[in-house]
Amino acid sequence: MSQEKPVSIIPLLSRALQRIRSTPPRIISSPRTQPRRAAVALIIRVVPPSSVSVSPPTTNQPSLTEFFELDWVNDPASRPEILFLHRQNPSADDVSLAQSRPRNTQETHVAFPGGRMEPEDEGGLYTAMRQTWEEIGVDLAERQYTCVGQLDDREITTSLGKRLLMILSPFVFLQVTPQAPQPDPIPSTTLHWTPLASLVSPYSPPRWSTVTVDAASRLAPKHSTALRLLVRLLIGSMEFPAIVLETSPSTDSSQVADAKSTKEQDTLEKGVGSPPQQNLKLWGLSLGMVLDLMSYMIFPKPSSRFGSSEDQADSIVSSPLSPVMQLPYQTEFEGLRMDIVAPSLASVFPRFSYPDVNFWIWVFGKRYRDVVRGWEESVRAGGTNDRRVNWSGAALSTFYAAIRKALVVVIVARALGILFGIAFAGWWVFAGH
C-alpha cells in the first residue's frame, strides 16, 4: 500500500493569517436591550522538529512575512497546532455554555480560552488577553505572541434564535517563537494542542461525528419537567456535526499526568472503577470559529474573463481543502457546493432525530438556501465582496425561522394525530357495545 508523502500546511496557514490581518472584521454592535459581550483567543503555534537547531530569537518581534520565511518554520517536519481547552466545571457565564450540553457524558466539548467582557475592559482584545491569562496562565502581551487579527463577530442566541445572549469577538494569536513559557491552567481546565493538519490536510481529513443534544434544552424552561418531557416526546433530539480531535504528542504531559494521578486518587478514595476515556469533540460555536479560520485558506475562484475553459474546469477544485471541507448532510442542499461555501455556515446546524421534522425544515428553508448561495458566491470571490453582509447571522436567523415553522407543523400534526387516535378509540369502544 502506497503511503502519501506528508504535505506541509504552512503555506495555507500563512495565507490565512495574512488574509485575516488585511481583512477588516465585521463588527456587530450590541443592542441596548442586551449589552453583554465576550471574547475568545484562538492561539496558534508552529512546533519545530527536535532535530532542527533553532537560532536564538532576536529582540525584535518578527512580522508575519518574516516569521513564515524562517527556516525552522518552513521545515517539512514542523507542525502547526491550535490550542483548545476543556473546562471540567464550567461556570454559567462561560462562553462555551452558549450551546447546550451533550447527552453523552463520554463526549468532551472543547472550547477556546475567553469569557465575558467586564465593564473595566478596554475592548474585546483586552478581554481575550485577560481571560487567557486568568484561565490558562498564558500572557499574550509577551513578545512570544502577536495578535494577527480578529475574525467576524458572532451572535450567540438561545431559544432557536429568538433571544440574543451576547456578541462574541474571536481574536487570532500566533506564537512567533519556537518556545514559550509553559501554561499554568486552573485545576479544572485541561489544555489540548491539536495539529492543524488533522483539520485541514487533504491527506489526513478530519473525522466527522455527531453530538446529540436534547431538543427540550433549547425549547422548554429549565425547571418545567413536564413540559421538557413533552417536548422530548414530540420533537426528539438534535444531532450536531462534530469533528473528533487528535491531540498532539506535545500536549503538556505534566498536566495530563497530574490530571490522571488526581483521577486515579479519587477513584481509589471513592472505591469505584476507572472512568472510561472521553472523546474530544469540536462542535457548535467553537467549531464555527475554527471553520471561519479555515475558510481563509480557500483560494478564490478565477474570474470567467480570464483563463481558458480548462482552467475554469480545474478551478472547480480550487483549493487543497476542497476535498475535505465537505460537511455531513450535503444531500439536503442540492445544487450547492458545500466544499466551496465557507464551511461554518452549515457546520453548526443540527438535524433532528425525527425525519418528518427534517423534511419540514427543508420545506420552509428556501430563504436559508438563498443565503447559502449568497455566501457561496462571496467565498468563490475570495470573500472580498459583501463584507458588510452578516452571512452567519442571516443564515442562523433564516434556518431557525424554518425550524420554528417546521416545529409548529409537526406539533399540530402530532396533536391532530393524537386527537384522531382518541376519537377512533372512542368510536371503536362505543361501536363495539
Q: Which domain CATH number covers 21?
A: 3.90.79.10
Residue 48 inside a domain? The answer is yes
Bridge-partner residues for 169, per DSSP? 39
Inter-residue contact 281 to 110 (CB < 8 Å): yes
Q: What pLDDT was estimated at residue 335?
A: 35
Q: What pLDDT was estimated at residue 135?
A: 94
Q: What pLDDT was estimated at residue 272?
A: 39
How sure is the predictor about 303, in pLDDT bands with cuts at 50, 70 and 90? very low
Q: What pLDDT was estimated at residue 343?
A: 43
Query: Is residue 304 over pLDDT 80?
Result: no
Residue 382 inside a domain? The answer is no
Residue 40's H or E segment, with its range, is strand 37-47
Residue with cell 516569521: 67
For residue 44, the enclosing domain spans 10-327+337-352
Total number of domains constituting the chain: 1
Residue 431 inside a domain? The answer is no
Q: What pLDDT was estimated at residue 338?
A: 37
- pLDDT per residue over 34-52, tens digit each? 889 999 999 999 999 888 7
How sure is the predictor about 104, in pLDDT bands with cuts at 50, 70 and 90? low
Instruction: In whole angstroms, give the CA distance from residue 232 to residue 207.
Output: 29
307 torsion bin: left (phi>0), alpha (psi -120 to 50), beta (else): left
Residue 207 inside a domain? The answer is yes
- Comparing 121 with 312, which gets the higher pLDDT? 121
Q: Among 89-98, 235-244, 324-333, which range has the highest average pLDDT? A: 235-244
- Comparing 297 with 24, which gets the higher pLDDT? 24
Residue 223 inside a domain? The answer is yes
Query: Is residue 425 over pLDDT 60?
Result: yes
Is 8 exposed, middle or buried, given 0-12, 13-18 or 19+ CB atoms closer than 10 A? middle
Inter-residue contact 44 to 153 (CB < 8 Å): no
Instruction: In whole angstroms, give the CA distance from residue 386 to residue 295.
Output: 15
Instruction: In whole angstroms, give the CA distance from residue 293 to residue 403.
Output: 27
Mean pLDDT for the stretch of residues 53-79: 86
Angle between helices 284-295 and 10-22 in degrees, nearest 10: 90
- pLDDT per residue over 214-271, tens digit each? 888 777 777 778 888 888 888 888 888 888 887 665 444 444 444 444 444 343 333 4
Task: Centre a 10 Å sphere on the Cβ of residue 361 and count the other Cβ atoms it contains.
Answer: 25
Q: What pLDDT was estimated at residue 125?
A: 96
Residue 396 inside a domain? The answer is no
Residue 411's H or E segment, with its range, is helix 391-432
Residue 415 inside a domain? The answer is no
- pLDDT per residue over 149-195, tens digit each? 999 898 888 777 778 889 999 999 999 999 999 999 988 889 999 99
Which residue, among 80, 81, 84, 85, has the nearest Cα to 68 in the 3D structure? 80
Instruction: In whole angstroms, give the CA distance from residue 13 to residue 145.
Output: 16
Q: What pLDDT was estimated at residue 264?
A: 40
Q: What pLDDT was estimated at residue 144?
A: 93
Residue 98 inside a domain? The answer is yes
What is the reported pTM? 0.81
